[in-house]
Structure 1
Amino acid sequence: MNRKKLQKLTDTLTKNCKHFNKFEVSCLIKLFYNLVGDVAERPGAVVGLDRNAFRNILYVTFGMTDDMIMDRVFRGFDKDNDGCVNVSEWVNGLSLFLRGSLEEKMRYCFEVFDLNGDGFISKEEMFHMLKNSLLKQPSEEDPDEGIKDLVETTLKKMDHDHDGKLSFADYEKAVREETLLLEAFGPCLPDPKDTEGL
């Protein structure tokens, strides 16, 4: 990418970016094109990070290992649902991912955890996300029982309107009372120690 194109793209993306300055946006654009590689040079090629490349970044850079959560994070970045993260989605996604306000992170985490996109986190969705969080003990007859207990405990703590599922209002209220509940269903944000100095 030539200097003039980079400058124009940097200016455009900086206007819409809340948490990065012009220099940081420029660095993120350069990093994006380094990650995409030679695809950017081919005429007519879709320039972006596909699901596998993006998941690899989440794994290598941020230590994420849960397949379901990584797919949901990818969907959170891929706003136009075209199957790849373009440069604009990359910069804006990282802005929220690395430096978003609590409000922005709550909305993002809720969307990640709302697996079917219906505006609620159901018991079934909680079960699917939490089943990877418990270590299975060889002596346990039904390991799913522990997960079901965890789902019920979670609902008691977070379901303020007692309807058996979490709305965004329930989730937001619970997180404001206890910020550790932001990632109650799995790590979908980078560990703060991984982002020191960013």
Structure 2
Amino acid sequence: MSKKRLQPLVESLSRSAKHFNRGEVECLIGLFDTLLGSSYSRFAAVGFDRGAFCDALHRDFGMTDSALTNRVFCTFDRDNDNCISVVEWVEGLSVFLRGTLEERIKYCFKVYDLNGDGYISREEIFQMLKNSLLKQPSEEDPDEGIKDLVDIALKKMDCDHDGKISFADFEEAVKKENLLLEAFGQCLPDLKSTMAFERRTFPERRKP
């Protein structure tokens, strides 16, 4: 990226991706260009396609559930053009790596709301838990066990008892018990992956 184009972009992203300083924004733009150069994205002129983005989530953060990594892609892709631009990349990572609890609650809810209707339904919870749980070969009907977990999740998180989880339900439940933030599968990086990614990406973090 040319210096003429880089500087205004860094200025703008330093304001909008509020958890990164100017130097970190520059590093993330550099990483974006490097990853784009080595990818086979069909949108390579402007950003990552779904495959390249999900590969990065798997490689850098060990995220293997394809249904959820697809939803992470959709959450980063705010303009729904099936491509992650450099702005969506840096602003998305700001929440993904360093978001406040409020930001992460909004982000996780959006990932888990599979059809985007503003609710996490019984069917969506079942689908996510089915994808994320390992099936035991001895179980005669593993779906029954998952249905029990769905009932437990709804009992815990459906605060207004309408059979589905609204954003207000999700927020209230997570604020009472933070562990419920990723109740339906991993959609945020763990601390070890985050620290490793930041050490690789931000040179100043490597200094003793």
Shift of 1:70: 0.3
The corresponding residue for 1:48 is 47
The corresponding residue for 2:4 is 4
Moved more, 5-14 or 113-122: 5-14
Shift of 1:100: 0.6
The corresponding residue for 2:124 is 125
Gaps (5+ residues) in structure 1?
A: none
The corresponding residue for 1:184 is 183
| TM-score using structure 2 length | 0.89
The corresponding residue for 1:155 is 154
* Per-residue CA distance 1:101-139 (angstroms, 9 max, x = gap): 000000000000000111100000000000123332223
* Per-residue CA distance 1:153-174 (angstroms, 9 max, x = gap): 1111111111110001111111
The corresponding residue for 2:37 is 37
Shift of 1:45: 6.6
The corresponding residue for 1:110 is 109
3-state DSSP of counterpart to 1:140: coil
Partner Cα separation in structure 2 for residue 45 and residue 114 of structure 1: 29
* Per-residue CA distance 1:158-192 (angstroms, 9 max, x = gap): 11111110001111111011100000000000011
3-state DSSP of counterpart to 1:189: coil
Partner Cα separation in structure 2 for residue 26 and residue 138 of structure 1: 49
Aligned length: 194
| TM-score using structure 1 length | 0.93
* Per-residue CA distance 1:56-88 (angstroms, 9 max, x = gap): 000000000001000000001111111110000
Question: Measured at CA, do residues 56 and 45 of structure 1 come closer, stay the same or move farther in structure 2, by a change above 3 Å?
Answer: closer
* Per-residue CA distance 1:11-47 (angstroms, 9 max, x = gap): 12212121101110011111111111189xxxx9741
Question: Measured at CA, do residues 59 and 140 of structure 1 come closer, stay the same or move farther in structure 2, by a change above 3 Å?
Answer: same
Shift of 1:50: 0.6
- Percent of counterpart pairs with the same letter? 64
The corresponding residue for 1:99 is 98
Partner Cα separation in structure 1 for residue 138 and residue 99 of structure 2: 43
The corresponding residue for 2:171 is 172
Q: CA RMSD in A?
A: 1.6
